[in-house]
């Protein structure tokens, strides 16, 4: 009897040892595999695609990246486009949200290890808030997307901008924009991001709302007053506004005299194109002008914005705006010789600063290694391969036009980077290495830095 009890406890202990990041990684992998099998069905494409193309596209959809080895607009059937949209929704909202809702609908209690997994995905510390957060995510997401789809469909029906069914194209377009995926699943008017202010407005607003983070949206809907918002929400909103305005002005100024991008457009169209490009650069992936024709200065700005990304627990990736802000105030505190890292009269814990440093350091290492190996596999201009690596690890989906031209090893590397970028580099490290705590304390030593 004792032996049986010991065995049951051992099995239970082994089950708990499966860390939440590891389960999260396997869950996304399972979604990718199912998506690849679905895309390989003969009814999903007009012409057969290889297993690698199906797996690459499914990975790009689940990781809400938008890179592809073929023209998804012309190659995918209606079923294939629906599959892409479902994969994007699952990847954007996270399979954990759907898992919790499914368990709640069946009236089942979530186990302790499942609660830990959900708290890891939702970045929550209170188990009691998990169900509420999951339902709020679905509620806000569906409501916002339905409103945006309806407005865009009505506008396209009124103006005749859409070359297909307005409702059909609006549903696909808003799904991709809100989830920061960047796939174009319909034959769009090439001037829609230059001339149509309403389309640009709805598209960029969907991108911003999807990328700002669900905790911020929940805070806004719950409190509805600026003074009652949390410090986190205020900082993310202010930083988002500043980044978008600075990016808009910089791209417009740099590209205004570029004959390959904005020079031949009227001022109003230049403004619309610059605004969409600035907003979409932080992981959405839409392009209002050909990236390969943009100046080097603009590409540097785009890579910085892709690196920063959106807010935590959002459809965007990157290191996240909040991580960037934490590092900024930490550097500011050091330069001012302040003992504490303070943001809006609140002290940032040392553990949070360390996590931000680790995330940035690991992401930079991924970019360096990826650029190094692709440079070995393919003889390409450095700006093109660096941009491709940054776009993949940040799941932005913008491309300098080389994705389909890369060799198979490089494409495999880009595929892995999309997967890593959606999980988060720090989460992947947690998967590979179990955190070990030590009760031993060592004496300090003087170590020169800088």
* pLDDT digit string, tens, across residues 49-90: 999 999 999 999 999 888 889 888 889 999 999 999 999 988
- Distances in Å between the Cα of 283 and the Cα atoms of 55, 171, 196, 301, 422 are 21, 20, 22, 13, 11
Query: Domain spans of the chain?
Result: 17-431
Q: Which pLDDT band holds residue 163 (cuts at 50, 70, 90)?
A: low
What are 74-132's pLDDT values in tens digits? 899 999 999 999 999 888 877 667 666 666 555 556 666 666 666 655 555 565 666 67
What are 17-53's pLDDT values in tens digits? 456 667 778 888 999 999 999 999 999 999 999 999 9
What sign does the CA torsion over 246, 250, 256, 261 have?
negative
Q: Which pLDDT band holds residue 8 (cuts at 50, 70, 90)?
A: very low
More confident residue, 187 or 216: 216
Q: How many CA atoms lie within 13 A of 343 on its CB side?
A: 24
Q: Does residue 7 carry a pLDDT above 50?
A: no
Residue 111 has a pLDDT of 65
Residue 268 has a pLDDT of 94
Counting beta carbons within 10 angstroms of the beta carbon of residue 344, is it exposed (0 to 12), middle (13 to 18) or buried (19 or more)? Answer: exposed
Beta-bridge mates of residue 343: 346
CA 367 to chain CA centroid, Å, is 16
Residue 3 has a pLDDT of 43
What are 394-427's pLDDT values in tens digits? 988 888 778 888 999 999 999 999 998 888 765 6
- Taking each helix axis as running N to C, give the angle between helix 166-178 and helix 197-212, from 0 to 180 degrees, rounded to the nearest 10: 40
Asked if residue 201 lies in contact with residue 174, where contact means CB atoms within 8 angstroms, the answer is no
- Nearest Cα neighbor of 200 from 137, 144, 284, 306 is 284
Most confident of the ranges 18-32, 173-187, 200-214? 200-214
What stretch of H or E contains 342? strand 342-343
Q: How are the residues of the chain apportioned to helix, strand and coil, as percentages rounded to the nearest 5? A: 65, 0, 30
């Amino acid at each position: 009897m004792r032996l049986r009890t010991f065995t049951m406890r051992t099995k239970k202990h082994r089950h708990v040892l499966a860390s939440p990041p590891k389960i999260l990684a396997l869950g996304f992998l399972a979604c990718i595999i199912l998506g690849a099998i679905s895309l390989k069905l003969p009814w999903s494409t007009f012409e057969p695609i290889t297993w690698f193309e199906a797996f690459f596209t499914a990975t790009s959809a689940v990781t809400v990246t938008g890179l592809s080895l073929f023209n998804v607009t012309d190659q995918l059937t209606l079923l294939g486009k629906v599959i892409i949209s479902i994969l994007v929704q699952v990847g954007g909202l996270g399979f954990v949200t759907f898992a919790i809702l499914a368990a709640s609908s069946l009236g089942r209690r979530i186990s302790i290890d499942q609660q830990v997994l959900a708290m890891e995905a939702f970045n929550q510390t209170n188990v009691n808030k998990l169900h509420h957060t999951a339902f709020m995510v679905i509620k806000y997401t569906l409501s916002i997307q339905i409103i945006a789809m309806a407005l865009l469909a009505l506008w396209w029906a009124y103006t005749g901008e859409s070359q297909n069914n307005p409702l059909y194209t609006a549903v696909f377009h808003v799904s991709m924009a809100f989830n920061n995926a960047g796939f174009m699943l319909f034959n769009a008017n090439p001037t829609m991001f230059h001339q149509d202010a309403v389309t640009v407005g709805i598209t960029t607003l969907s991108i911003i709302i999807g990328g700002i983070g669900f905790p911020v949206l929940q805070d806004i809907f719950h409190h509805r007053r600026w003074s009652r918002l949390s410090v986190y929400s205020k900082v993310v909103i202010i930083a988002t506004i500043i980044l978008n305005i600075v990016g808009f002005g910089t791209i417009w100024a740099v590209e205004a005299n570029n004959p390959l991008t904005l020079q031949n457009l009227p001022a109003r169209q230049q403004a619309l194109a610059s605004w969409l490009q600035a907003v979409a650069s932080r992981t959405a992936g839409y392009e209002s002008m050909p990236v390969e024709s943009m100046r080097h200065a603009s590409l540097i700005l785009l890579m910085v914005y892709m690196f920063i990304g959106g807010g935590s627990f959002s459809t965007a990736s990157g290191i996240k705006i909040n991580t960037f802000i934490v590092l900024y105030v930490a550097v500011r505190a050091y330069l001012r010789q302040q003992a504490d890292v303070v943001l809006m009269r609140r002290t940032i814990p040392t553990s949070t600063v360390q996590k931000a440093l680790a995330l940035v350091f690991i992401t930079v290492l991924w970019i360096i290694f990826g650029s190094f190996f692709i440079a070995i596999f393919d003889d390409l201009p450095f700006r093109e391969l660096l941009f491709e690596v940054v776009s993949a690890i940040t799941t932005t989906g913008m491309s300098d036009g080389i994705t389909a031209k890369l060799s198979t090893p490089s494409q495999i590397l880009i595929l892995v980077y999309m997967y890593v970028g959606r999980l988060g580099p720090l989460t992947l490290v947690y998967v590979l290495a179990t955190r070990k705590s030590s009760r031993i304390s060592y004496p300090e030593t003087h170590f020169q830095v800088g």
